[in-house]
Structure 1
Amino acid sequence: MNLFTDIRALVLDTLDAMTRDGALPEGLDTAAVTVEPPRDPAHGDMATNAAMVLAKPAKSKPRDIAEDLAARLGEDDRVATAEVAGPGFINIRLAPQLWQGIVRAALRDADYGRSQMGAGEKVNVEYVSANPTGPMHVGHARGAVFGDALARLLDYAGHDVTKEYYVNDGGAQVDVLARSSFERYREACGLTPEIGEGLYPGDYLVPVGEALKARWGESRLDAPESEWLEEAREVATAEMMEMIRADLAALGVTMDVFFSEKSLYGTGRIESAIESLRDKGLIYRGTLEPPKGKTPEDWEPREQTLFRSTAHGDDVDRPIMKSDGAWTYFAPDIAYHYDKIERGFTQLIDVFGADHGGYVKRMKAAVSALSEGRVPLDVKLIQLVKLWKNGEPFKMSKRAGNFVTLRDLVDQVGADAVRFHMLTRKNDAPLDFDFDKVLEQSRENPVFYVQYANARINSVLRKAEGMGIAVDDAALAEADLSVLDHEAELQLIRALAEWPRLVEIAARGHEPHRVAFYLYDLASQFHALYNRGNDETSLRFLQEDATATQRGKISLARAVGVVIGQGLGILGVTPVEEMR
């Protein structure tokens, strides 16, 4: 049940009636007609812009259309009042029973708020995709949480979602991993590792060295690199990916697909993607202008094989092949996205770190060219996380081996706290993660405040059950909800009515942080009503002398719990039933 959709349908039906009556001309486009909460809640429950957007094509004054439309809307039982405001906006107040019906809908439908907006569209969400060179750090944690919550949100909104990890196992960094692991192999054989500049120094490679010793014994200690590099790559990559999978699992993240970059090489898949672009006239030999900041004196122009990415919105054309005939790093990425398109995805989402900002336009150009504009690519950049502890910045450095890992974070504050807090800012805004505040039990800690609301609701249900009141959803849905007539209660119900609309807005904008914001606001309104009952007994959820009344009150609390549970499910956070 989406009350905003229902009232918009009422507005559109009324406009159709006005057309049939000759009050409006035929053929008006009503796509821009909206029904939304008014900016000032004092003006009503909902507002529509119908008269404003139709006035010009109808060749009428907005206020004339608005007055006729408002009068007709007021005849519907669901509408208490419909009033014209300003030049032609219509403010609508709904009948109380309509709001009370929201509570019943939430109790009768465990998936209240779930949408079919996506209509089963196949969406690929690629996220994390950290190089398999070590455990994941805090920055990866934010990308993992965002990508996973976005995938859950899109699924909740009716899309067919695939969660994917692109394993960067085809580049030079994996050779560095292999060489670093070989030094740990030497260490496992009793020698001193020589971890020179450019190698990965972290102790996390010690088990890889031991695995290599178990495989080789001491037979490779004096062997040339050409004899052990490839095998060391395979062993080290497999070990690192096992570690990464375990780290993701600790955060509650599972992937549907792990796609290997290496699988693109030597299989003709890169060549096939580039040939597709060549067939469209987008591959050519040419010379690029000097990069920004370079002068002709310190820039050596050379002819290269280029992708004409400027034909699809990029700033400059991009090299796809090096002068020695090897592919640039961009070529396998083109092939990878071509594979996604070939797999039938009609919408692609890439979640990248903030340092990939310069990569966005070229990747969008490639997808546009490969799909001939049919498949949109949305690249979401994840800004940095700043760690704080005891009031001091907490530094990390991946190459130095002293970074804070994702697992460190989860072990210290728990997966639920990490996931919720990572979504308290929009993805493209920097985020401060303060270990002390994340564990603080106060209103200033969003995850605690939302979980506390859920725990309070479960406490109400347990007490009611102890009083002999049936608290299953089916029984509560049959309660007399007309008792929910106080403005404070109606305000909380209005927040519940916003949930289905919020889901679609968040899914359409690829903005899972909206769910976290909504849950905090909903919890705040619940706590306000709960606390108000300390002074106004008529607002208490449990009223021993008024069984019929309190069943309706309990129903409201449980409906809030249903929505909190749904929202936390999208965020990947487990609702708690009791605060300890």
Structure 2
Amino acid sequence: MNIFSDFHAIIAAILERIKASGRLPETLDASRFVVEPPKDAAHGDLATNVAMVFAKEAKPHFPNPRQLAVEIAAALVNEPNVAEAEVAGPGFINIRLKPSVYADVLRSVLAEGDAYGRPHGRGALAGRINVEYVSANPTGPMHVGHGRGAVFGDALANLLAFAGADVTREYYINDAGAQVDVLARSAFLRYREALGETIEIPEGLYPGDYLKVAGEAIAKAHGRALLDKPEAEWLEPVKRAAIDAMMEMIRDDLAALDIRHEVFFSERTLHAKVNGVSQIDKEIDELRARGLVYDGRLPPPKGQLPDDWEDREQTLFRSTDFGDDIDRPLKKSDGANTYFAADIAYHKSKIDRGFTTLVDVWGADHGGYVKRMAAAVAALSAGKVELDVKLCQLVKLMRNGEPVKMSKRSGDFVTLREVVDEVGVDAVRFMMLYRKNDAPLEFDLAKVIEQSKDNPVFYVQYAHARAKSAVRQALAAFPDLDVSPAALASVPLELLTDEGEIALAKAIAHFPRLVEQAAAAHEPHRVAFYLHDLASVFHAHWNKGKDRPQLRFVNADDRNSTCARIALVASLTCVLASGSRLLGVSAPDEMR
């Protein structure tokens, strides 16, 4: 049950009746308005801008939007669940619902269980969505910054799937280019070390101890056979072994966060030549055939010229035809393909696989790359595929307010695995999502494990555990009490009359709308915010019972009120658990 979409449908039906009377245009799209909570809760339960949205189309029969609003409000008061419908200002409508509506919401939660909040009808997502996230270079363990993108992408995929989309979770392995050659040379040193040599790691190679595993694997596979060979002969087998070792480590790091991808796409496959032609070459040729690739010169960049800038004829993609600032090079001066050319071929692969929406989760340092990629996807799909790039800002790791910088494992940064091992999966995942992805994040290792109301993950998990304790208390007071969802759905919920109880039921009723909006906006942080707000409403009402025993969830002298309140907390635990599941966070029955 989604009271917002339900009343959207009711208001749309009222508009259709007015259309049928000839006072609104037949072509009017009767769904083009919103129903939302009023900004001031004192104004009611729902608010709609319907009359304001259609002010122009409503003329001349309704000279101003307030007149249309009055007619819609008059029709709304005849609806069985409406207590009042009032017109405010120039034409907004505030709606107050009857208390029985929230009893119906609780029954809906109890009946639907884990499915409560899943969008239906116009709110459900359709199509196939590819969410590509993490995609860290396979040159070392994941750091905390990678973790933010990993958690964001995984929670977003959960949310989109819950909202009805067919979702694929993908990791793009950047296993081509100069950085992988550096990895291979670094791993070769560790290979020599594994065979007993004393090594020194020169500047420019990767110094972390994590590469010892790769060196040992290479020594086990090849013995001493590679030692006397020139680099041209050992580079490729060492590169493959090093990438495999790094990807195994990255998969393990991700698994520690309960993150698993369905597709690992290798960049090297795009560069591989078949009959002398790579997939990148094919895509450039196809774009050229469409007139979207040409040979030309770019104007010099504004301001001081970089040292490596040269005025030369280049192979260029007409990205300005699709909203970019300048056309973009597809070839380097040595004739090799640019990173952008490879990314064009990669995104064409996604389009060819039938995805209708592409979500790329990138680090904030890639912000300048967004326009060209959006232009490429628009060109490759003829505007039929949506690209949404989500940028994740940096994570500043702290301990009791002091920066944490060094790691024994990596040599120069704190690894994600070290953080997960110290504070746990739930703290990492929730706190990575308790800020919008494009906002900087301070992650304090000490504060995220505090058992206090100032720690959001504890606050939400404590609400679930507290609610579960109320059920246990009820069973202690009434051992024969049936607390199954079906039994609780039949108890007298009209006994829930206190303002705190109604406020909690209202907050629960907002969950379906929250899911719908968060999924449409690709913003899983909204779920974290909602869970914290819901927990706050619950804790506030629980605390009232400390001073006013009649408000406690369990009253050993009143079985009926206890049953109604246990139905309320059972609905609460369902929503808390469901929302936590979307974030990949546990909902414990007890806090330890």
Please give the alpha-carbon distance, in whole angstroms, between the structure 1 residues aligned to 2:103 and 2:135. 46
Please give the alpha-carbon distance, in whole angstroms, between the structure 2 residues aligned to 1:525 and 1:572. 22
How many residues align? The count is 580
**Secondary structure at 1:5 match in 2:** helix
Which residue matches 1:555? 567
> Is the counterpart of residue 112 in structure 1 residue 116 in structure 2?
yes
Q: CA deviation at 1:553?
A: 0.6
Which residue matches 2:349? 339
Which residue matches 1:203? 209
Which residue matches 1:575? 587
Give per-residue Cα distances to partners, 1:372-407, cap 9 Å, x unaligned. 111011111110000111331112589972311110
Q: CA deviation at 1:21?
A: 4.2
Q: CA deviation at 1:141?
A: 0.4
Q: CA deviation at 1:292?
A: 3.3
Letter in 1 for 2:556: E
Q: CA deviation at 1:548?
A: 1.5
Please give the alpha-carbon distance, in whole angstroms, between the structure 2 residues aligned to 1:301 and 1:550. 80
Confirm or deny: 8 A CA contact 1:454 1:561 kept in the other structure.
yes
Please give the alpha-carbon distance, in whole angstroms, between the structure 2 residues aligned to 1:239 and 1:553. 54
Farther off after superposition, 486-495 or 173-182: 486-495
Classify 1:198/1:481 alpha carbon distance in 2 versus 1 (closer, same or farther; 3 Å): same
**Secondary structure at 1:33 match in 2:** coil
Which residue matches 1:81? 84
Alignment of 1:277-356 (within 5 A): 277-295=287-305, 299-356=309-366
Which residue matches 2:401? 391
Confirm or deny: 8 A CA contact 1:276 1:370 kept in the other structure.
no
Which residue matches 2:52? 52
**Secondary structure at 2:330 match in 1:** strand
Which residue matches 2:189? 183
Confirm or deny: 8 A CA contact 1:200 1:400 kept in the other structure.
no
Please give the alpha-carbon distance, in whole angstroms, between the structure 2 residues aligned to 1:298 and 1:330. 18
**Secondary structure at 2:280 match in 1:** helix
Which residue matches 2:42? 42
> Is the counterpart of residue 17 in structure 1 residue 36 in structure 2?
no
Alignment of 1:233-272 (within 5 A): 233-265=239-271, 266-267=273-274, 268-272=278-282
Which residue matches 1:94? 97
Alignment root-mean-square deviation, CA: 1.7
Please give the alpha-carbon distance, in whole angstroms, between the structure 2 residues aligned to 1:553 and 1:297. 71
Q: Using structure 2 for the length normalisation, give the TM-score.
A: 0.95
Give per-residue Cα distances to partners, 1:187-213, cap 9 Å, x unaligned. 112212231111000000111111111
Q: CA deviation at 1:457?
A: 1.0
Letter in 1 for 2:529: F
Please give the alpha-carbon distance, in whole angstroms, between the structure 1 residues aligned to 2:299 and 2:410. 37
Confirm or deny: 8 A CA contact 1:132 1:167 kept in the other structure.
yes
Q: CA deviation at 1:15?
A: 2.3
Confirm or deny: 8 A CA contact 2:400 2:447 kept in the other structure.
no
Letter in 2 for 1:437: K
Please give the alpha-carbon distance, in whole angstroms, between the structure 2 residues aligned to 1:42 and 1:202. 59
Gaps of 5+ in 1: none
Confirm or deny: 8 A CA contact 1:28 1:58 kept in the other structure.
no
Confirm or deny: 8 A CA contact 1:66 1:89 kept in the other structure.
yes
> Is the counterpart of residue 489 in structure 1 residue 501 in structure 2?
yes
Classify 1:465/1:391 alpha carbon distance in 2 versus 1 (closer, same or farther; 3 Å): same
Please give the alpha-carbon distance, in whole angstroms, between the structure 2 residues aligned to 1:576 and 1:538. 27
Which residue matches 1:66? 69
| Sequence identity (%) | 60
> Is the counterpart of residue 165 in structure 1 residue 171 in structure 2?
yes
Letter in 2 for 1:9: A
Please give the alpha-carbon distance, in whole angstroms, between the structure 2 residues aligned to 1:413 and 1:23. 63
Farther off after superposition, 74-83 or 464-473: 464-473
Which residue matches 2:180? 174
Confirm or deny: 8 A CA contact 1:118 1:154 kept in the other structure.
no
- 155, 160, 183: which is aligned to 1:154? 160
Q: CA deviation at 1:185?
A: 1.0
Please give the alpha-carbon distance, in whole angstroms, between the structure 2 residues aligned to 1:264 and 1:398. 36
Gaps of 5+ in 2: none
Confirm or deny: 8 A CA contact 1:133 1:240 kept in the other structure.
yes
Confirm or deny: 8 A CA contact 1:182 1:209 kept in the other structure.
yes
Confirm or deny: 8 A CA contact 1:169 1:237 kept in the other structure.
yes
Q: CA deviation at 1:365?
A: 0.8
Q: CA deviation at 1:578?
A: 0.3
Q: CA deviation at 1:250?
A: 0.2
Classify 1:358/1:396 alpha carbon distance in 2 versus 1 (closer, same or farther; 3 Å): farther
> Is the counterpart of residue 123 in structure 1 residue 135 in structure 2?
no
Confirm or deny: 8 A CA contact 2:399 2:444 kept in the other structure.
yes
- 475, 479, 482: which is aligned to 2:491? 479
Classify 1:134/1:295 alpha carbon distance in 2 versus 1 (closer, same or farther; 3 Å): closer
Letter in 2 for 1:113: G
Classify 1:400/1:577 alpha carbon distance in 2 versus 1 (closer, same or farther; 3 Å): closer
Please give the alpha-carbon distance, in whole angstroms, between the structure 2 residues aligned to 1:376 and 1:25. 32
Confirm or deny: 8 A CA contact 2:133 2:362 kept in the other structure.
yes
Confirm or deny: 8 A CA contact 2:493 2:564 kept in the other structure.
yes
Please give the alpha-carbon distance, in whole angstroms, between the structure 2 residues aligned to 1:390 and 1:37. 38
Please give the alpha-carbon distance, in whole angstroms, between the structure 1 residues aligned to 2:77 and 2:361. 47
Classify 1:203/1:557 alpha carbon distance in 2 versus 1 (closer, same or farther; 3 Å): same
Which residue matches 1:538? 550
**Secondary structure at 2:191 match in 1:** helix
Please give the alpha-carbon distance, in whole angstroms, between the structure 1 residues aligned to 2:162 and 2:243. 34
Which residue matches 1:136? 142
Letter in 2 for 1:13: A
Alignment of 1:391-540 (within 5 A): 391-396=401-406, 401-466=411-476, 467-468=478-479, 469-540=481-552
Please give the alpha-carbon distance, in whole angstroms, between the structure 2 residues aligned to 1:305 and 1:68. 62
Q: CA deviation at 1:462?
A: 1.7
**Secondary structure at 1:192 match in 2:** coil
Classify 1:513/1:193 alpha carbon distance in 2 versus 1 (closer, same or farther; 3 Å): same
Farther off after superposition, 44-53 or 397-406: 397-406
Which residue matches 2:199? 193
**Secondary structure at 2:226 match in 1:** coil
Confirm or deny: 8 A CA contact 1:37 1:45 kept in the other structure.
yes
- 203, 216, 220: which is aligned to 2:222? 216
**Secondary structure at 2:95 match in 1:** strand
Confirm or deny: 8 A CA contact 1:63 1:88 kept in the other structure.
yes
Please give the alpha-carbon distance, in whole angstroms, between the structure 2 residues aligned to 1:297 and 1:208. 37
Farther off after superposition, 279-288 or 125-134: 279-288
Confirm or deny: 8 A CA contact 1:346 1:375 kept in the other structure.
yes
Classify 1:575/1:115 alpha carbon distance in 2 versus 1 (closer, same or farther; 3 Å): same
Q: Using structure 1 for the length normalisation, give the TM-score.
A: 0.97
Please give the alpha-carbon distance, in whole angstroms, between the structure 1 residues aligned to 2:296 and 2:333. 12
Confirm or deny: 8 A CA contact 2:163 2:519 kept in the other structure.
yes
Give per-residue Cα distances to partners, 1:277-335, cap 9 Å, x unaligned. 11220111111112233449984301111111111111111111123322112111110
Q: CA deviation at 1:118?
A: 4.2
Letter in 1 for 2:422: Q
**Secondary structure at 1:203 match in 2:** coil
Which residue matches 1:31? 31
Letter in 2 for 1:289: P
**Secondary structure at 2:131 match in 1:** strand
Q: CA deviation at 1:108?
A: 0.5
Letter in 2 for 1:317: D
Give per-residue Cα distances to partners, 1:444-463, cap 9 Å, x unaligned. 11100000000011111122
Classify 1:127/1:569 alpha carbon distance in 2 versus 1 (closer, same or farther; 3 Å): same
**Secondary structure at 2:531 match in 1:** helix
Confirm or deny: 8 A CA contact 2:423 2:448 kept in the other structure.
yes
